[in-house]
Amino acid sequence: MTDTSDESLFAAYLDGDRAAFQDLMQRYSNELLHFLIRFLGSRAAAEDVFQDTFLQIHISADTFDLSRRFKPWLFTIAANKARDYHRKHRRRTMMSLSTPIGDNEEGQSFIDLLETDVPSPDLPLSVDERSALVKEVVDDLSPHLREILLLSYFQRLSYNQIADVLAIPLGTVKSRLHTAVAAFAQAWSIVSARDMSTDGGER
């Protein structure tokens, strides 16, 4: 089944193959769950939203256009379910920003990806200190900016896929991502300078 496309599996499910639906859930059990954990900051919440997402896939199965790709549709539903969870529980998003992107545990983290765009403090920070500061900065971003950073840098979706997931024009994706990175860089310069000043005072 690993060579079978998502769309073929879903078509098989629509034709009555219940195992195909389980195959799709298994296929995304890591990728989608990891995305939701970063989005929601809680594995328990992510597992609940994961189940709700596939329940919605089942309920809305007949509305899916088989000429389109399955993954953006899946992540559209997952992102909407995650937003609903936030509204219901009124919880702030917490993200593991030092977690490598993708399945490669040796891969780049969000910190690595933004490092070239972010001014570095004069005093060196440990990995844990920098991770905590980056998390603080991103947590303070508005939800729509934080969301697009997750989709772009963590999930590595293309601009077109992000446009599908968020139901916004392609141009908006590009401008919003640019705004998100710029907002992060500006806030980072303030927070890192504050931290440097605090450390300097203690020393």
Residue 114 above 50 pLDDT? no
At residue 28 the predicted structure's pLDDT band, cuts being 50, 70 and 90, is very high
Q: What are phi and psi of 45, to 5 degrees?
A: -65, -40
Q: Which CATH class is domain 110-202?
A: mainly alpha
Which letter does DSSP use for residue 100 in this model? P
Alpha-helix residue ranges (DSSP H) falling in 60-142: 70-89, 110-114, 127-139
Architecture per CATH, domain 6-89, reads as Orthogonal Bundle (1.10)
Quote the pLDDT of residue 43: 87
At residue 130 the predicted structure's pLDDT band, cuts being 50, 70 and 90, is low
Distance separating alpha carbons of residues 184 and 90, to the nearest angstrom: 23
- Which has the minimum average pLDDT: 34-43, 112-121, 138-147, 153-162? 112-121
Q: Per-residue DSSP letters for 121-163?
A: PSS---HHHHHHHHHHHHHTS-HHHHHHHIIIIIS---HHHHH
pTM of the prediction? 0.56
Q: Where are the CATH 1.10.1740.10 domain residues in the chain?
A: 6-89
Quote the pLDDT of residue 138: 72
Helix, strand or coil for residue 203? coil
Quote the pLDDT of residue 123: 40
Q: Where are the CATH 1.10.10.10 domain residues in the chain?
A: 110-202
User: Between 56 and 163, whose confidence is greater?
Assistant: 56
Distance separating alpha carbons of residues 143 and 129, to the nearest angstrom: 24
- Average pLDDT of the residues of the chain: 75
User: Between 156 and 94, whose confidence is greater?
Assistant: 156
**SS3 labels along 39-57:** HHCCHHHHHHHHHHHHHHH
